[in-house]
Amino acid sequence: MNIRNKLKQISGSWHFLIIILLVYLGLYIFRKDIFSSSIIFFYNILLKIIPIFILVFVLMSLTNYFITPKFVMKHLEEKGVKKWFFIIIGGILSTGPIYMWYPLLADLKNKGLSYGLIACFLYNRAIKIPLLPIAIFYFGWEYILVLSFVMIFISMVQGILINKLMDVKK
């Protein structure tokens, strides 16, 4: 097997990594000042983000351990504010592509979950815990906190409006 065939077997992400490493090697050889300032910038960003990544990892591990399908079904059968709270948290913690959630949500709809609660769940999927460290780094805690609260509040308003509109339709 020749070298060209071996290179075709390597994925594009590895090609990108190799190119970046070559650029850094070139900078190290020809412009050490730019190389060192780039490394210092990377190090400073890493120091700011690592504690947030650790917090996110711990939160995701805890939720994966404690939130089981039985736990979910039990809380979706509750009435009032608890159900809304649980739907909001579920939307925030949900992962994966949205189309994978449609069959589950349709099944829950057949078991009595309202359209408003489904809309609230889908709305809150926009708040992603793994993306919060980068958002906080770029925009700050205050903005992300206010944005998250506004999104959660509006998701409830949207859910209530959808429930009212769907009742009118019936």
pTM: 0.60
CA distances from 126 to 10, 12, 123, 129, 146 (A): 33, 28, 6, 10, 14
Contact between residue 141 and residue 106 where contact means Cβ atoms under 8 Å apart: no
- Asked whether residue 144 carries a pLDDT value surpassing 90, the answer given is yes
H-helix or E-strand spanning residue 14:
helix 12-30
Distance of CA 122 to the CA centre of its chain: 13
Q: How confident is the model at residue 69 (pLDDT cuts 50, 70, 90)?
A: low
What's the pLDDT tens digit per position in 72-119? 667 777 777 888 998 898 888 888 788 888 888 888 888 788 899 999
